[in-house]
Amino acid sequence: MTETTYTVTGMTCGHCAASVREEVGTIDGVQNIDVDVPTGKVTVVSAQPLDRERVRAAVEEAGYQLTA
């Protein structure tokens, strides 16, 4: 199991967090997603390390930017 924290910009509310959870949740192997809107931190627990570009694409599909 792998836990990785990303920083996402542009989220301002619970709906934003839900959108990010929904898109990142479509990536194979994702088991849990925790989104902290005030800090922009998105912590993803997955079965194996995730491809960063795949996570970036999912975040962008939700309408936000992956910064770190």
Reduced DSSP (H G I as helix, E B as strand, rest coil) percent helix, strand, coil of the chain, to 5: 30, 35, 35
- What are the residues facing 4 on neighbouring strands? 44
**In whole angstroms, how far apart are CA 1 and each of 14, 29, 30, 37, 49?**
27, 9, 10, 24, 8
Instruction: Return d(Cα 30, Cα 2) in angstroms, integer.
Output: 9
- Model confidence, pTM: 0.93
Instruction: Return d(Cα 45, Cα 2) in angstroms, integer.
Output: 6
Domains and CATH numbers, the chain: 2-66 (3.30.70.100)
pLDDT tens for the 68 residues of the chain, in order: 999 999 999 999 999 999 999 999 999 999 999 999 999 999 999 999 999 999 999 999 999 999 96
